A = this chain, B = another copy of it.
Amino acid sequence: MAKADRQAMTTLSFNPPVRTLMGPGPSDVHPRILGALSRPTIGHLDPAFVGMMEETKALLQYAFQTRNELTMPVSAPGSAGMETCFVNLVEPGEKVIVCQNGVFGGRMKENVERCGATPIMVEDAWGRAVDPQKVEDALKANPDARVVAFVHAETSTGAQSDAETLVQIAHRHDCLTIVDAVTSLGGTPVKVDEWEIDAIYSGTQKCLSCTPGISPVSFNEQAQEKIRNRDHKVQSWFLDLNLVMGYWGSSQQRTYHHTAPVNALYGLHEALVMLQEEGVENAWARHRKNHVALKAGLEAMGLSFIVPESERLPQLNAVSIPEGIDDATVRRRLLDEFNLEIGAGLGALAGKVWRIGLMGHSSRAENILLCIAALETVLGDMGAPIQTGVALAAAEKSLQS
């Protein structure tokens, strides 16, 4: 590159706008967590860092409600957490039951195929929970299946499935389970030990209010046994838990595998300390209460949810876009006029729904009021068929109850 090119280039420091994040994640990050990110970097083998790693593992066990030894953060986003579960637990040639009721079940299918295994798809409508009967039927039809994988909280639709029941069915058919809890962890009950989940992965940027980039995972003894006794090497060196555990496993003999994302882990540690301070049951209750208030406001305005009430995630609210209203215009105006981000529909739901997140630090009364007020303003201005002047009062009433 010529010197002239360099001189012509004068990129300045990036100063992001201050947004309110009510999409499907990242959610608002608490200032304490942002502050933690900028603490001085230390070595990934420093004794002080090793102590923090041990605390992080214990805090993650609390978040996941598990005593699983193999509970740790993968050094990459939730998609890599998903891949960690599949490449370690699935062997070439195996059959895997994959439940699909949104985008992320489709990603699981991709993972299974890339492991050289065969996905047996169990399909449900987008916006509905996984139907346990269909899983039972698939297992009966495929007695050689080895793994059942499903999404606990479908980020693309806001539907929650009954993880406990699905795991019971899988176990009755001698299958291990892989559970996607990216959007549920910290927002709605996730009880790894009580529900006997074998392998689970999550993300940091949803109900844990942390920045994106890390994926907490947990594996029980049955899952570990399969990993230790694989016929084929795990196809990913970076995600091979047999190797990763040399670094994360025991604080006594920690060996270098890869360089941990030190400062990102400061952030996760702080987020988990905050979850512990609040109490995970209180966090679940807060997400529930705030969802009810947002729902009161949105429904008073005339918007309708796409997921039946009993299957709805409190932290991710998918509502239909009113007839004749352009999705992108509304989202752009919310962003430009109010610095408010809400989520678009994904895949089959693109252009048809908005996804309004109330996750982690975003799950607050002030965000609910802002969202309702801003939506009402923009939709009203665009002539949408909504009810005006009643939504805020409905939400406030719910918040005060």
A76 to B17, CA, bound (A): 25
A272 cross-chain contacts in B, Cβ below 8 A: 11
A14 to B262, CA, bound (A): 12
Do residues B261 and A264 form an inter-chain contact, with CB atoms below 8 A?
yes
B-facing mask of A85-129, CB < 8 A → 1, else 0? 000000000000000000000010011011100000000000000
The answer to whether the Cβ of A195 comes within 8 Å of any Cβ in the partner chain is no
Do residues B44 and A34 form an inter-chain contact, with CB atoms below 8 A?
no
A19 cross-chain contacts in B, Cβ below 8 A: 40, 42-43, 46
- A residues 166-213 with Cβ under 8 Å of B? 193, 203, 205, 211-213
Decide yes or no: A213 and B264 within 8 Å by CB, A34-B40, A40-B19, A236-B114 being known contacts: yes
Where chain A touches its partner, the secondary structure class is loop
A62 to B5, CA, bound (A): 9
Interface-side segment among A47-55, A220-228, A295-303: A47-55
Interface centre among A44, A82, A263, A273 (most CB of B within 10 A): A263
Interface-side segment among A23-31, A132-140, A312-320, A377-385: A23-31
A12 to B235, CA, bound (A): 38
The answer to whether the Cβ of A153 comes within 8 Å of any Cβ in the partner chain is no
A43 to B89, CA, bound (A): 32
Decide yes or no: A6 and B279 within 8 Å by CB, A19-B46, A270-B13 being known contacts: yes
**A234 in complex: contacting residue of B40, B114, B335, CB < 8 Å:** B114
A238 to B46, CA, bound (A): 30
Task: Tell me the nearest residue of chain B to A336, going by C-beta.
Answer: B47
A194 to chain B, nearest CB (A): 9
A55 cross-chain contacts in B, Cβ below 8 A: 11, 14
- A residues 64-88 with Cβ under 8 Å of B? 65-67, 75-80, 82-83
Do residues A259 and B212 form an inter-chain contact, with CB atoms below 8 A?
yes
A210 to B332, CA, bound (A): 33
Count of identical protomers in the assembly: 2
A237 cross-chain contacts in B, Cβ below 8 A: 79, 82-83, 107, 110-111, 114
The answer to whether the Cβ of A15 comes within 8 Å of any Cβ in the partner chain is yes
Interface centre among A13, A52, A110 (most CB of B within 10 A): A13
A273 to chain B, nearest CB (A): 5
A: number of interface residues (CB 8 Å): 92
The answer to whether the Cβ of A21 comes within 8 Å of any Cβ in the partner chain is yes
A264 cross-chain contacts in B, Cβ below 8 A: 211, 213, 261, 263-264
Do residues B14 and A41 form an inter-chain contact, with CB atoms below 8 A?
no
The answer to whether the Cβ of A233 comes within 8 Å of any Cβ in the partner chain is yes
A346 to chain B, nearest CB (A): 7
Decide yes or no: A14 and B46 within 8 Å by CB, A1-B62, A107-B237, A235-B235 being known contacts: no
A6 cross-chain contacts in B, Cβ below 8 A: 62, 276, 279-280
A189 to chain B, nearest CB (A): 12
The answer to whether the Cβ of A395 comes within 8 Å of any Cβ in the partner chain is no
The answer to whether the Cβ of A36 comes within 8 Å of any Cβ in the partner chain is yes
Task: Tell me the nearest residue of chain B to A17, going by C-beta.
Answer: B48
Task: Tell me the nearest residue of chain B to A21, going by C-beta.
Answer: B43
A-B contact pairs, 20 of them (CB 8 A): A1-B62, A9-B58, A11-B59, A12-B273, A14-B36, A15-B39, A16-B40, A17-B46, A18-B40, A23-B43, A34-B39, A37-B37, A37-B263, A41-B211, A80-B258, A113-B233, A211-B262, A212-B262, A213-B213, A261-B264
